[in-house]
Structure 1
Amino acid sequence: MPNGLRRFSLPFYLLTGVFSAGTLADVKVKIDLSEAEHHYAQVGISLPETKQKSIDLKLPTWRTGRYEILNLANGIREFSLADQKLQWHKIDKDTWRITGDLSDGVTVNYQVYANQLGFRTRHVDDSHAFIDASGVVMYTDETRDDKYIVQLKVPKKWRSVSGLKKGRNKHQFIAPDYDVLIDSPIETGINEFHQFEVDGRDYELVIWGKGNYDSKKMVADLKALVAQGSSIWSDYPFERYVFMVHATSGARGATEHLNSTIIQRSRFSFAERKDYLGFIGTAAHEFVHTWNVKQYRPEGLVPYNYQGENYSNLLWLSEGSTSYLQNQLLMRGDIMTAKEWLNNLAKRINGYLHKPGRESQTVAEASFDKWISEGGDYGRNHSVNIYSEGFLVSWVLDFDILSKTNLSQSYRNVHDILYKEYSIPKTFNDQDMLNILERVTGEDYQDWWQQNIDGYAKPDFDKLLSKAGLEINYGKGNKKKAWSGISTKPHANGLIITSVEKGSPAWQAGLTTDDIIIAIDGLRVADKDLKKRLKNFKPKQKIDVTFFRRDALNTKTVKLGETPAEQLKINAIKEASEQQKAFFKAWTGLELPRVSK
């Protein structure tokens, strides 16, 4: 590609002057957001001198916290070199090779199209920019350990916030190396900003977007949350931490980072209690990651290979255990009640019981295959999830440790050992975990591991809950209702099937996803939900389901099964023993709820 075809003017990208305190080994980055309304960021990178005759400049193909190839280089255009005597060509989808006399260093310029809000990689508009360096800033293997100085050029009145060390002005940030840069996103724009201190550590909350949130309550609960880290770990790995919140019109999700987190929620999903628990639960999840993943990671994830998949069969511990431990912080911080916790646990148990994939894939296999995991109907029927099933095996393991140590040790102790003895650059593997478990309990965990991690876990929920004075309840009389195994959503012509549970009545009858149900027993389906229509039938009753498949009309007979008429609930038993009460307290930090008369 001829350099002459690149249209950027050099003076705009000259990085001298802005970075007066740097050394020759520093990598200097300028990100200009003058065309924010078009989602453009103009990037200039100055690399130090080298005796090499060529260097490979790369953009990661994935970002930390999301084990999925994202092909981030798809937003890079107009790549050019400041020195016209140098040459460059692209050697693969995310690598630019620069050749020539590099003894004076190299300055490169390129444009980034930043409109990936939901991916949490890069998003620029006229109100803000969210910059995860993995989708914006290139690196070389030779400069990965060098200091990176990032200077932003932003509209007036924009505020820039990051977990990175601040530079010589309010829009400059410094990272000791590329790995820290890539794990410390920057939020800049028109935003709401709060600062607070807990136990001598500084915290910041920055909120972009309007919504029905109560920022004062958010700050109060975040204060209570962050104080609970000591209930699991022996100390904190940071002096300053930033909570970034996006109140959006659709993007949802969150990502952990080294010294911060980004949380995205629909702008009107904060006010109701269930919605707020979703937010503060996510904040707790990402905060747990500050230790679990950001301080200690399984073998295969250290160091990160940004250009390809990083495999581990212990991702269930990195993610599922984090989901489990987040509630420990919420309960011990008096943010989540025991009743709310049990409602959450009941939903998880019910989801597990209706996931046939638990008999097709182990959590170890799901961890290794996370890079190619499928969701939706296939995922439920043939796979498990490192988050949900990882949560459940973490719970089973916690109860086993509590039982074997007479409540003196728990899964929390295991994670503190991982933090104290296996922090990066060290890693841990299955055998290390087995050694830690034997050390904590005095017993061999080979069989347990083979059954629950490398095998298909089959938790006895009744037995587990009984230890803590709890029981599963489906309401008075344990009534049953008709069940088909079908999930649907409205369609212009009826109800389109979104999933069919493997082994269910509908599965056995031959119904599948994307079939469009138009009638049952010859009468048109007018309801928005099939469950409402099924209330007219009884278990074991046969119904004729008429549907379109590939635009052709079909009819199949389904013999309905049965399922509990009421949702699964977890309640305290009426006369719990002192031992059961003590178990519940050791588990949650809370008193066992009283049974209402």
Structure 2
Amino acid sequence: MNSNIHFQLSFIEPQAHYVEVTMQINGIVQDFLDLKMPAWTPGSYLIREFAKNIEQVAAHDPDGNPLRIFKTKKNTWRVETTSGNALVTYRVYSFERSVRTNLVDDQHAFISPAGTFLYVDGYLDHESTVEVILPAQWKKISTGLAPVAGKDHVFFAENFDILYDSPLEIGNQDTWTFVAAGIPHEFAMVGTADYNKEQLSQDITKIVEVETALWGSNPNDRYVFITHNYQSAHGGLEHLNSTVLAASRSAYSSPIGYNNFLSLVAHEYFHLWNVKRLRAEHLGPFNYEEEAYTPLLWIFEGFTAYYDNLITRRCGFRNEQEYLNELVVEFNLVLNRPGHKVQSVGLSSFDTWIKQYRPDENSSNVSISYYNKGAMLATMIDISIIAHTKGEKRLDDVLRAAYKQFYLIEDRGITEKEFQDLAEQVTGVSLQDIFSAVYTTEELDYNAYFNLVGYQFIDQNKLSQTPSLGIKVNHHDGRTTIKGVDRNSAAWTDGLSVDDEIIAVNNNRLDPMGRELDQAITFSAIGDTLTILVSRDGVIREIPVTLKASDKVSYYIERNPESTEEQRRLGNIWLSLQEG
């Protein structure tokens, strides 16, 4: 008897945020069936414990007789059957607004497969089908899954890796299609927003075609963009032949918001190649119960973060200065976090499971983002290659060669050494200094790199001496409360603490917006002492704090007036600018 696994999704109480799941298993004959729920979803490196949302699990044989089913682990249900056949039913509570998790309400259902579908232990490579029972009020399904010919609302997944990488949007989303790089693309807009379909199609077509040209070929026969529009949101999650985006519904009506949305599109589409196919050795095939550790997210997320804005520059959506303004944000974000002196970008990648998605009040003091720091290093690699090959090569050539070798030919994950070796082989340029910086907290001489292509990297705060407490505060309900204390700042040294409510400074009570604190700092000098009255857990304390100089930087990137003609030519290549 051939084995098969079939799922059915239905929505009896969508207003209560539930999806009902039926899992039909036939022909998997063994002493028992262990059914498992993934603990995380690829592309989002956090153990999310999806099993917590499952309830009312039951099992029956084909004749409707109940089968014994019980939990053996937090995410494992054992079905006692020797026939290999079982009908398992369960409900999934689905009410978390993110691109990574289920959201079901009376308007639509977004199904994140890793948080919805159980798998049979040992059968991740098994094919499956998914049938959606549409409520009467819903008319559309948008997904990267392949439709089953001759069957309405039934989809096929070759294995569970593909199933878990294929979200479904179900409802009345606004959908349209366009062809880019010779491939049909579907766009599904969820929620109210003021967007221009024709303009989006034209602009995203440019992104698709510029990225396809960079990589050399496009791996898809079809691609789906799912966009959720909220009052305030920005983010995305890549999938094998689709992506889920979160955007602010007002973003499309402002030039800055619209360009930021296009950068988001460019970022997630870039992942078609970088992460989903060209990947680190531990990023697939996946163990959905345990963390997949890698120090290489600085390449796979950081390089993508470098290219997202660069792609919009190449498409003509941003001019030179607008692009440089976006690029320098990556540098200022990292260099203004005290954590850049504590955590290397390699460790940031490895520790993403415990730090990146679980920030707290001390995160800025102990960590950095591999997105930002990876983009910084990608910039240096790209510039170095351009400069030392006189513009004949750049990082594009490395990525294209790596994609061809490690995905199209060998179809396997890579190590950092393999990537570096290939990069140096393709370009003839030593990149050792940059790759060594991955595992140290020492910063490169970024200005020396920018000078190679006719630009300069300048800290406009370098000569200023500004007194600072080194705290972040929150004004709420008439109270000013400390929400962050910078490492080695005045507040850190003299004992102010997160959650302290600041009541007065130098015997002057704070107004609801804390303006007296700002004024006291402004009219003081480095070395002056402020007397700060705080309430700590309801106990009043007076704490003297001696002001230190602010260590915050404010870099900008501009043309170097002392650059040579050759350096300016290389800079034009870097930013895809016209000669002259």
User: Could you tell me the TM-score, scaled by structure 2's length?
Assistant: 0.92
Q: Indicate if the aligned counterparts of 2:226 and 2:245 stay in contact, CA closer than 8 A.
A: yes
Contiguous gaps of at least 5 residues in structure 1:
1-22
The offset of 1:497, in angstroms, is: 1.4
572-581 vs 153-162, which moves further: 572-581
Please state if 1:116 is matched with 2:96. yes
Please state if 1:350 is matched with 2:328. no
Task: Output the CA distance in 1 between the equivalents of 2:327 and 2:431.
Answer: 25
Task: Output the CA distance in 2 between the equivalents of 1:562 and 1:273.
Answer: 37
Counterpart AA for 1:149 = T
Q: Indicate if the aligned counterparts of 1:478 and 1:565 stay in contact, CA closer than 8 A.
A: no
- Among residues 130, 141, 146, which one is paired with 1:150 in the alignment? 130
Counterpart AA for 1:194 = W
Task: Output the CA distance in 1 between the equivalents of 2:55 and 2:491.
Answer: 50
Please state if 1:461 is matched with 2:446. yes
Q: What's the CA shift string for 1:281-317, capped at 9, x where partnerless? A: 1111111111111112112222111111111111221
| 2:477 match | 492
Task: Output the CA distance in 2 between the equivalents of 1:539 and 1:218.
Answer: 51
Q: Secondary structure at the match of 1:61?
A: coil
The offset of 1:28, in angstroms, is: 1.2
Task: Output the CA distance in 2 between the equivalents of 1:477 and 1:458.
Answer: 16
Q: Indicate if the aligned counterparts of 2:233 and 2:248 stay in contact, CA closer than 8 A.
A: yes
Structure 1 residues 501 and 246: alpha-carbon distance in aligned structure 2, compared to 1, 3 A threshold: same
Q: Secondary structure at the match of 1:223?
A: helix
Structure 1 residues 266 and 34: alpha-carbon distance in aligned structure 2, compared to 1, 3 A threshold: same
- Percent identity, aligned pairs only, is 28
Root-mean-square deviation over aligned CA pairs: 2.5
- Among residues 427, 434, 452, which one is paired with 2:413 in the alignment? 427
Please state if 1:307 is matched with 2:285. no
Q: What's the CA shift string for 1:402-449, capped at 9, x where partnerless? A: 233222222222221221111274111122123113212335545542
Please state if 1:295 is matched with 2:277. yes
Structure 1 residues 553 and 55: alpha-carbon distance in aligned structure 2, compared to 1, 3 A threshold: same
Q: Secondary structure at the match of 2:566?
A: helix
Q: Indicate if the aligned counterparts of 1:331 and 1:590 stay in contact, CA closer than 8 A.
A: no
Task: Output the CA distance in 2 between the equivalents of 1:293 and 1:545.
Answer: 50
- Among residues 530, 536, 539, which one is paired with 1:552 in the alignment? 539
Task: Output the CA distance in 2 between the equivalents of 1:583 and 1:36.
Answer: 57
| 2:108 match | 128
Counterpart AA for 2:186 = E
The offset of 1:135, in angstroms, is: 0.8
- Among residues 423, 427, 433, which one is paired with 1:441 in the alignment? 427
Q: What's the CA shift string for 1:120-165, capped at 9, x where partnerless? A: 2211111111111101111114432232211111123421111111
Structure 1 residues 477 and 315: alpha-carbon distance in aligned structure 2, compared to 1, 3 A threshold: closer
| 2:367 match | 383
Counterpart AA for 2:572 = K
Please state if 1:400 is matched with 2:384. yes
| 1:235 match | 217
Task: Output the CA distance in 2 between the equivalents of 1:220 and 1:200.
Answer: 14
Structure 1 residues 571 and 563: alpha-carbon distance in aligned structure 2, compared to 1, 3 A threshold: farther
Please state if 1:165 is matched with 2:130. no
Counterpart AA for 1:467 = L
394-403 vs 127-136, which moves further: 394-403
| 2:306 match | 324
| 2:14 match | 36
Q: Indicate if the aligned counterparts of 1:491 and 1:516 stay in contact, CA closer than 8 A.
A: no
Task: Output the CA distance in 2 between the equivalents of 1:124 and 1:293.
Answer: 28
The equivalences for 1:9-408 within 5 A come to 24-83=2-61, 84=65, 86-103=67-84, 105-118=85-98, 120-156=100-136, 157-167=138-148, 168-249=150-231, 252-373=234-355, 374-408=358-392
Q: Secondary structure at the match of 1:334?
A: coil
| Number of residue pairs matched by the alignment | 569
Task: Output the CA distance in 2 between the equivalents of 1:265 and 1:433.
Answer: 34
210-219 vs 182-191, which moves further: 210-219
The offset of 1:41, in angstroms, is: 1.0
Structure 1 residues 230 and 98: alpha-carbon distance in aligned structure 2, compared to 1, 3 A threshold: same
Q: What's the CA shift string for 1:471-508, capped at 9, x where partnerless? A: 34566996554333221110335321121221222222
Task: Output the CA distance in 1 between the equivalents of 2:37 and 2:338.
Answer: 39
Task: Output the CA distance in 1 between the equivalents of 2:514 and 2:577.
Answer: 39
Task: Output the CA distance in 2 between the equivalents of 1:565 and 1:449.
Answer: 26
Structure 1 residues 214 and 548: alpha-carbon distance in aligned structure 2, compared to 1, 3 A threshold: farther
Structure 1 residues 473 and 564: alpha-carbon distance in aligned structure 2, compared to 1, 3 A threshold: farther
- Among residues 393, 396, 402, which one is paired with 1:409 in the alignment? 393
Counterpart AA for 2:577 = L
Q: Indicate if the aligned counterparts of 2:96 and 2:102 stay in contact, CA closer than 8 A.
A: yes
Q: What's the CA shift string for 1:254-284, capped at 9, x where partnerless? A: 1111111111123334422332233221111
552-561 vs 34-43, which moves further: 552-561
Task: Output the CA distance in 1 between the equivalents of 2:458 and 2:443.
Answer: 20
Q: What's the CA shift string for 1:41-87, capped at 9, x where partnerless? A: 11111123023121211110101111000000111111111212633
Q: Secondary structure at the match of 2:19?
A: strand
Counterpart AA for 1:356 = P
Task: Output the CA distance in 1 between the equivalents of 2:253 and 2:128.
Answer: 40
Q: Indicate if the aligned counterparts of 2:377 and 2:434 stay in contact, CA closer than 8 A.
A: no
Q: Indicate if the aligned counterparts of 1:117 and 1:251 stay in contact, CA closer than 8 A.
A: no
465-474 vs 203-212, which moves further: 465-474
187-196 vs 516-525, which moves further: 516-525
Counterpart AA for 1:143 = Y
Q: Secondary structure at the match of 2:178?
A: strand
Q: Secondary structure at the match of 1:150?
A: strand
